[in-house]
């Protein structure tokens, strides 16, 4: 059983070997190998000359294919690097935006005093980001477009628009006008008083409804408003 | 209840339409105009405040109300900040004060006056906010005696020491929500 199987495997190997050499022969004779570098046809050459021409032609083909592969890789790599730059640039402005929101919140609540220095740092960060984004957008014209990269560039352009607009309308943060929205610290007696109110068992003059009245969208105001 | 108010979400684009309305002439009343015109944008942008404008059945603008989250260090000095719903500002335009005429002024659950309707909407909305402290608070200028009476009718209690800000001294009022 085993020996029969081994014989069958040998037979298959030899057939495969014949097939491979047959393929090689037909490839050598194929018309594609005649033209790339303007050589004479391989068929009309002597055997030695034919082998020489064939080698050069194949080399040319391999070189061209390799070059195309490398160029494709390089293009993909360039696109990938560019996409990474676009993505990180978008990410950076999101982080700066979060920092600014936190700074505004702290100033609004009186946890941090407003300082011109903080403000200058944010403005400088935004301006340098705008320069960077503009440079990327200029470069984008020279970079091959692909679906995701084009989407990324769209996001970047939208962010650039938004940041430029917010810089044009920039206003420094200010302390909350309503004293109740500033952070508050309770003394022990105040905390005890608050506890008393919260845990009070007395009946309230008005018990809140479980579902508040639904508010209409702002457009309704403009539709109904009579000046 | 006669003239039911409709709350509408506030947008900054409404301000030009609202600048013609006033909420009284006393300093603490002028403050309510200034807060809407200048302070509301910061409160919304920096603190996520919610503001509503109210219109009546005749589509007239009646006033506005607002809610925002404030932070209290409670119950100890070393405790974390606890978020508490606050009413930063609420006002009825001065030419509509005391309207519509109402007989049952003592019962705030049915009082149809605009001010009571707005306050009920604010309390209902504050009670439905998730994860908040079971109380609502507000600060009121000590000189605004009528406002003090109004808040007390709704169950607000004066709590803690007054806080001074510029020329004004404010009392903190707190009310249990649930």
In degrees, rounded to 5, the angle at the alpha carbon of residue B53 between the alpha carbons of residues A108 and A217 is 100
CA-to-CA distance for A116 and A124, rounded, in angstroms?
A: 12
Q: Would you say the C-alpha torsion A34, A35, A36, A39 has a positive or negative sign?
A: positive
Q: Which of B110, B118, B107, B105 is nearest to B23 (CA)?
A: B118
Distances (CA, A) of A179 to A15, A102, B136, B157, B166: 93, 19, 15, 18, 11
Block mean pLDDT (10 aa), chain B, length 178? 89 96 96 96 91 95 95 79 92 94 75 93 91 87 95 93 93 92
| Residue ranges in chain A whose pLDDT is less than 50 | 1-2, 12, 16, 19-20, 23, 26-27, 30-45
Query: Which of B70, B88, B133 lies closest to A184 in CB terms?
Result: B70
Q: What is the pLDDT of residue B7?
A: 97
Q: What is the pLDDT of residue B132?
A: 65
Structure tokens, B17: 């339409």
Q: What is the pLDDT of residue A74?
A: 73
Q: How far is CA B169 from the centre of its chain?
A: 17
Contact (CB<8Å) B52/A177: no
Question: What ipTM is given for this predicted complex?
Answer: 0.89
Beta strands in B59-160 (DSSP E): 61-73, 81-87, 90-92, 135-141, 157-158
- Closest chain B C-alpha to A125 CA, distance in angstroms: 20
DSSP assignments along B19-58, one per residue:
TT----SSHHHHHHHHIIIIIHHHHHHHH--EEEEEE-TT
Structure tokens, B20: 């013609």
CA-to-CA distance for A191 and B79, rounded, in angstroms?
A: 11
CA-to-CA distance for A178 and A157, rounded, in angstroms?
A: 37
Question: Closest-CA residue in chain B for A171?
Answer: B42
- Residues A86-91: contacts with CB under 8 Å, at least 24 apart: A86/A136, A86/A140, A86/A149, A86/A152, A86/A153, A86/A155, A86/A156, A87/A152, A89/A129, A89/A132, A89/A133, A89/A136, A89/A156, A90/A152, A90/A155, A90/A156, A90/A159
Phi, psi of B42 (to 5 degrees): -65, -40
CB atoms within 10 A of CB B143: 14
Contact (CB<8Å) A181/B70: yes
Distances (CA, A) of B133 to B8, B74, B104, B137, B159: 25, 11, 32, 10, 16
The helix (H) or strand (E) run that includes residue A162 is helix A147-168
- Closest chain B C-alpha to A154 CA, distance in angstroms: 26
Q: A112, A188, A206: best mutation site toward chain B, by most B Cβ within 10 Å? A: A206
Q: What is the pLDDT of residue A75?
A: 72
- Residues B39-68: pLDDT tens digits? 999 999 888 899 999 999 999 999 999 999
- Residues A95-134: pLDDT tens digits? 999 999 999 999 999 989 999 999 999 999 999 999 999 9
Question: Closest-CA residue in chain B for A106?
Answer: B46
CA-to-CA distance for B67 and B90, rounded, in angstroms?
A: 9
Contact (CB<8Å) B17/A227: yes
SS3 A103: helix
The whole model's pTM is what? 0.75
CA-to-CA distance for A50 and A56, rounded, in angstroms?
A: 10
Contact (CB<8Å) B55/A221: yes
- B72: which chain A residues are within 8 Å (Cβ-Cβ)? 183-186, 194
Q: Measured in Å, how far apart are chain A's first and last C-alpha atoms?
A: 102
CA-to-CA distance for B121 and B99, rounded, in angstroms?
A: 17
CA-to-CA distance for A146 and A82, rounded, in angstroms?
A: 11
């Amino acid at each position: 059983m085993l020996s029969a199987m081994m014989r069958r495997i040998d037979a298959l190997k030899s057939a495969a070997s014949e097939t491979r050499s047959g393929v090689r022969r037909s490839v050598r004779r194929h018309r594609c190998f005649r033209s790339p570098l303007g050589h004479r046809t391989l068929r009309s050459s002597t055997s030695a000359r034919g082998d020489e021409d064939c080698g050069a032609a194949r080399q040319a083909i391999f070189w061209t294919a390799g070059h195309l592969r490398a160029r494709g890789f390089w293009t993909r790599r360039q696109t990938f690097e560019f996409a990474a730059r676009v993505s990180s640039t978008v990410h950076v402005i999101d982080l700066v935006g979060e920092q600014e929101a936190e700074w505004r919140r702290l100033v609004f609540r009186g946890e941090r005093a407003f300082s011109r220095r903080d403000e200058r740092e944010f403005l400088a960060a935004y301006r340098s980001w705008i320069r960077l984004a503009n440079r990327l957008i200029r470069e984008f014209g020279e970079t091959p477009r692909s679906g995701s990269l084009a989407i990324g560039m769209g996001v970047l352009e939208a962010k650039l628009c938004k940041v430029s607009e917010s810089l044009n309308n920039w206003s420094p943060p200010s302390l909350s006008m309503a004293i109740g929205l500033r952070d508050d610290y309770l003394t022990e007696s105040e905390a005890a008083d608050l506890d008393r109110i919260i845990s009070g068992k007395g009946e309230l003059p008005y018990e809140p409804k479980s579902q508040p009245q639904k508010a209409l969208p702002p457009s309704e105001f403009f539709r109904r408003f009579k000046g | 209840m006669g003239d039911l108010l409709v709350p509408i979400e506030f947008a900054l684009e409404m301000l030009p339409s609202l600048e013609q309305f006033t909420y009284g002439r006393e300093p603490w009343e002028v403050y309510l105009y200034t807060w809407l015109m200048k302070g509301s944008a910061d409160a919304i942008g920096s603190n996520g405040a919610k503001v509503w404008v109210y219109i009546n059945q005749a589509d007239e603008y009646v006033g506005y109300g607002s809610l925002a989250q404030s932070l209290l260090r409670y119950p100890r000095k070393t405790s974390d900040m606890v978020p508490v719903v606050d009413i930063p500002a609420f006002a009825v335009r001065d030419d509509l004060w005391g309207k519509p005429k109402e007989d049952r002024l003592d019962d705030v659950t049915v009082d149809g006056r605009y001010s009571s309707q707005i306050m009920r909407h604010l309390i209902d909305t504050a009670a439905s906010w998730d994860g908040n402290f079971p109380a609502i608070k507000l600060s009121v200028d000590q000189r605004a005696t009528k406002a003090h009476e109004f808040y007390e009718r709704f169950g607000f209690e004066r709590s803690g020491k007054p806080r001074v800000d510029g020329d004004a001294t404010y009392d903190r009022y707190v009310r249990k929500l649930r």
